[in-house]
Amino acid sequence: MSSRDAILNKLRHAKRPFDDAPPRPKVYVPVINDFDTSPDALIERFSAELTGLKGDPFVVEGEDAARACVIDRLRQHQAKRILAWHFTHIPIKKLREAIEAEGIEILQPDTHDEFRAEILSAAEGAQVGLTSAENAIAATGTLIVRTTAGRGRIPTVLAPVHLAVINAHQILPRLENWVAIQREKGINNILSSANVCFISGPSRTGDIEMELILGVHGPGKVEVIIKK
């Protein structure tokens, strides 16, 4: 018997590490205590938590106000080029047309083709990354971003500003609520994505002389437009 076969044989006959683990509880105790989960209260809590993380929330009413808010933020950041998800994944109608009317170049980077180097080079000059999110978590001010076709990760990490647009109903009270939804959908729902990211405010590090610095490993600003 070879060494490889000996090792594999031991692994096959080894006791599984979780065979004697207690069963999963039917109800989990929330990590964060109860709070008001009405729609307006969730918006208020998410906005407060995001602000505490040095992010900026913008609550608007309806399509027109949301579209105008996106354009205003792009103007404030003097955006000439942006990275964006496919606009079918951003919950504002006619947003592409409004952005193009401002003379802003829109890149929707796909790094899976032969022009990967050229795409990344062009993307480095973008001022804003424009996306939506799968959900937002009120208790922690967190955006949950799942990457799939048309919803790449580059717009969330490469530009100095990450601008996300969400509908108010996408805000969940806690992370446990999102996990429960995933269990209902099944494991294949998670496996269908290249990755799932949890974004809690701007990129930050405290490794440099124990001083908090924003924007070292990703966007230095995170802004979220919440459409009611």
In a domain, 127, yes or no: yes
Q: What is the DSSP letter of 161?
A: E
Q: Does 21 map to a domain? A: no
Domain-located, residue 58: yes
CA 67 to chain centre: 20
Domain of 206, in residue numbers: 37-227
Q: How high is the pLDDT of residue 112?
A: 62
Is 122 inside a domain boundary?
yes
Q: What is the pTM of this model?
A: 0.81
Residues of the chain with pLDDT under 70: 15-20, 28, 30-31, 111-117, 119, 206-210, 212, 215
Tell me, yes or no, whether 121 lies in a domain.
yes
- Strand segments, DSSP code E, in the chain are 56-60, 81-84, 105-107, 128-131, 135-137, 142-146, 161-167, 171-172, 196-199, 204-205, 213-214, 221-227
CATH at 68: 3.40.50.10420
In a domain, 23, yes or no: no
145 three-state secondary structure: strand
Burial (CB count <10 Å: 0-12, 13-18, 19+), residue 25: exposed
Residue 155: inside a domain: yes
The answer to whether residue 8 sits within a structural domain is no
Q: How many domains does the chain have?
A: 1
